Structure formats: C-alpha cells, structure tokens
Structure 1
Amino acid sequence: MLTIWGRLNSHNVKKVAWFAQEIGIAHVRHDVGGAFGMDAAYLALNPNALIPTIEDGDLVLWESNAILRYLAARYAPETFWPEDPALRARADKWMDWQFSYADAQRDAFLNLVRYPPEARDPAAVTRSAERSAEMMALIERALDDHPWLSGDAFGLGDIPMGVYVHSWMTLDIARPDMPNVRRWYSALQARPGYASQVMIPLT
C-alpha cells in the first residue's frame, strides 16, 4: 500500500493525496510537519525536512511533482502519462510553472492564513495579490484554447495549479474576473478527490 507522509493543509501534500484518489490507488496518509512535527524516523526518509514523502514498496520518494510523475507513470500511464512526449510536455510545463506561481502567492497566504492579525503586512498582501493575478492571467489565456491545462482532457498538468487556484479563490484578496479560470475551477470542484482533499479550510 502507498504511504503518504504529510499534513493535508500543505499545498504540496494536497497534490499527492488528491492524485492518489484520482488514480484509485489504495493508500494511507500520516500527518507530519507543521504542528505535527517531524521525528527522527521521518527525517531518515526525507533529510530535507519537508513534506510530502511517499513510500511505495522499497521506494522512498520526496518532491511533490516528482511524486506525481512517478505515480502517473507507474499506476495510470494510459490516462496520465501519455507515450507522446509532446502531450506529456504540455502538462509538464504547468507543473514546473506552478512553483513560480507559489512564490507569487506566498506572502498573501502567509499573512492572511498563518500570521495573527497584528503581525500582518498589508502592503505585502497587496503586492502578492497583484502578482498572483498577473500570473493567473497566463492561465486565463491558456484556457482559451483548451478546457484543461493538460489539453482537451483533465490530466497531470491540472493537479499542481488546481491546488493553488483553490487558495487564490478562497483568500481574502482582490481578484480580477477571469471567466476561463472560474470555469476550470468549477470543473475541478466537481471531481470527488478535489472536493475531499483540496477544498478544506485554509490553515
């Protein structure tokens, strides 16, 4: 059975927990990180002291997007890991791009979710919201041509930014209207794994 180590209020853990449900693989998840801490046994698995980490048989793997690629290739290649390199690349670019987006959204998320009101920096929130909107506009334009970031069907490329669009839609920040992003977000919300693993309160 697949074991996922990491607390579910982490964006990166959400990716893996959601995808495990999408592909229907039996798994168990253990809370690690944040308020749950990390013991020596976990640090032996992941010396980076980050989450998530998975164990799958003898394999120990960390880095959330590497985990997604591994699970897709091993357990759902027909659906999520196409043989055509061009099709894989179409999805793959959004997986790597997500890390740049995460940098843009970080200050808004930390200030509004993790920091107490007296410690918040409103200017940092505004800058972060503006930069997040600029980057989300790239997704808006990409969704002009295809219904999903992965192309004509839901795919691996929709997972990482699918997690972050929920935060963007939930944070108390100014958001320009983006019809394509709203449509995409609504389609994601209809997926059971997204509803149960991603659409939880931001903490």
Structure 2
Amino acid sequence: MAKKTAAKPAAKSAKKSAVKPALGAATKTARSAKAAKPAKKPALHLNVLKPSVNNMSVRVFVRAAGLDFAESDVWGSTRTPEFLAKNPAHLTPMLEEKGLPNGALWESCAIMQYLSNKHGLEKFYPKAPAKRAMIDSAMFYLIGTLYPYVARATYPALGFPQYAGEVGASDAGPTEKTEASKAATAAIAEPLEVFRTFYMNGTPFIGGSKPSIADIRLAATLEFLAAIDYALPDWGTAYMAAMEKKLGKAYSEPAADVRGYIAHVKSQQK
C-alpha cells in the first residue's frame, strides 16, 4: 500500500508540471499577440514631385532633421479633385499633418520653417532674432530674385511649363524665347555673388559653420543649373560639395532624383 500511496503524489506532480509550461507558453503567445500592434502611420505626410528642386528642399530637410514621415509621389495627380480639395493652389511640396489650420501646407520655405519651429530644430533655423532674420532674408531673396532667373533659364531645357505673362509662355518666336533664356542665365551671376559676399560673408554656409534651411533651399536650387551646363564659380562648386558632404544621404538621395531627371532630359535632347 505504501508504494501505491507514494505513486499518487508523483503522478499529480507530473500532471501539474506538464500543465504549467503549457499555460506559460499560451500566456507568452497571448502577450506577444497583444504587443504586436499595427505600426502607427507617421504624423507627417509629404506629397512631392521628385524631379523638382522646390520639392527636393523639403525632402532633404525632413531626412537631415531625422523626422518620421511618409512620402507620396503625386506626379500627374495635382489637378485631381481629391488633391485640389486639400490644396487649391495645386502646388508641391505639400505637407499634410493633423493640427495645421486647413490640414495642409505648401511652399518649401514655409514647411521647413514650420517643422523647425514645431520640433525645436534651432541648428537649422536659429531662434535668435538677428540670426533668424538673415536666414529668412536669404530665403526670400532666393525665391524672389534668384529662383525666377533660374526658372527662366532652365525650364525650357527641362520641359517645364513657363510662367504666364513671360516670354517663354508667350507666342513669341524661338529666337525671342532663346534670347530671353540667355538674358536670365546671364542675370544669375549677380544674386549668386550676393549670397557669397553678404549671406555667407566668409563662413562656409548661410547658417555659419553648419547648413541652415536657407542653405538647403539654395543648394537644391543650384542643382537645376546642370540642365543648362551653367559654370558655377569655384566657391559655388565647393559649396555644393560641402553641403552634400555635411548632410550625407539626407542630401544625396533626394538629389539623385533631380539629377536623374536632368540626365534623362539631356539624353532625349541628344
């Protein structure tokens, strides 16, 4: 009888130990299933046209800033009812984010300013009023003076539509259009020199020793000059190289899309 009595607890013990691992495994599996929630969508959603240097500016910035974002190529879709409902100006880049007054924001400089302010990115957009004023001035001077010259000089070669009211978009003949493009190309040298002597004034970048959002906007703009084989001054070539070296893949990956498009257009012309 003693043998039988001893056997019973052993059997119970074996039963319990068999149940425990099984329950433990099931609990772990349930916990894992609970933990594996669907990945959250990034709060920032960029709508871009990859061959555009305006779009390149913001694409470089979000990467350099290490922001979490999603990106959609909206080539051929900016005039659809869905896009126009969000953005009646049909412009890119367009940022979509919860909390924006109308849910969307366009204009590359405005997007970079907004994101810098929101995330406290002072290394790209300093808070000190005097330093910030120089960054703002450089960007406004670029979009108001330099970029229109670059657009008039390069858009014909790139196959981009020209702005209404200008020679390139008029019924003028090929000779007049070519002359207008040449005049714009010749005019680029002056604002470029202003960037060197005033905005950089002996420093490597507009922001001083590190690139600012104004530098990102300038470097991206200068990428288009390759479309007309514009000979940048030596300092300009060194500046472009320094920007790419400083920002690494954050710069080179978006730049590759612009450069690839320019190379494609040139190959078609040949």
Tell me if TM exceeds 0.5: yes
Return the offset for 1:80: 2.2
Measure the CA separation in 1 of the matches of 2:197 and 2:130. 20
The question of 1:86 aligning with 2:130 is answered yes
Between 1:186-195 and 1:137-146, the stretch displaced more is: 137-146
Instruction: Please list the CA deviations of residues 13-41 of structure 1 after superposition, one character each: whole Å capped at 9, or x if unmatched.
Output: 111111010111111111225x3443212
Matched, 1:125 2:171: no
Matched, 1:184 2:229: no
- 2:78–2:84: 8 Å Cα contact kept in structure 1? no
Taking the aligned partners of 1:126 and 1:173, their CA distance within structure 2 comes to 13
1:152 maps onto 2:209 in alignment: yes
Verify the 8 A CA contact 1:6 1:53 in the aligned structure 2: yes
Ranked by relative contact order (alpha carbons within 8 Å, sequence separation 6 or more), the top structure is 1
Partner of 1:70: 114
CA deviation vs aligned residue, 1:90-136 (integer Å, no higher than 9, x gap):
21111111112111111221111116xx9683322211210112221
How many Å apart are 1:140 and its aligned residue?
2.7
- Structure whose alpha-carbon radius of gyration is higher: 2
What is the deviation of 1:67? 0.6
Separation of aligned partners in 1, 2:51 and 2:66 = 21
Task: Specify the alignment match of 1:109 in structure 2.
Answer: 154
In 1, Cα distance between the equivalents of 2:125 and 2:185? 33
State the one-letter code of the partner of 1:75: H
Identity over aligned residues, as a percent?
Answer: 22
Contact kept, 8 Å, 2:123 with 2:210, in 1: the verdict is no
Superposition misfits of 4+ residues, deviation over 6 angstroms: none
Quote the RMSD (CA, aligned, Å).
Answer: 2.2
TM-score (norm 2): 0.67
The structural deviation recorded for 1:161 is: 0.9
Residue 144 of structure 1: how far off its partner (Å): 4.2
User: Which blocks of at least 5 consecutive residues in structure 2 are unaligned?
Assistant: 1-41, 161-172, 266-270
For 1:165 and 1:140, locate their aligned partners in 2 and report how far apart those are by CA, in whole Å. Answer: 14
Structure 1: stretches of 5+ with no match in the other structure: none
Structure 1 residue 148: Cα displacement:
0.2
Question: Which residue of 1 is the match for residue 48 of structure 2?
Answer: 6
1:50 and 2:91 correspond: yes
Give the alignment of 1:3-42 within 5 angstroms. Answer: 3-33=45-75, 35-42=76-83
Secondary structure, counterpart of 2:46 in structure 1: strand
Report if the CA contact (8 A) 2:77-2:83 is conserved. no
The Cα shift of 1:197 comes to 0.8
Calculate the TM-score normalised by the size of structure 1.
0.87
Structure 2 CA distance for aligned equivalents of residues 6 and 166 of structure 1: 17
Q: Distance in 1 between matches of 2:116 and 2:230?
A: 35
1-structure distance, mates of 2:89, 2:78:
14
Does structure 2 conserve the Cα–Cα contact (< 8 Å) formed by 1:101 and 1:135?
yes
Which secondary structure does the structure 2 equivalent of 1:125 belong to?
helix
- Check 1:119–1:19 CA distance in 2 against 1; reply closer, same or farther (3 A cut): farther
Matched letter for residue 31 of structure 1: D
C-alpha separation in 2, matches of 1:78 and 1:174: 33
Distance 2:128 2:190 in 1: 31
In structure 1, the partner of 2:223 is 166
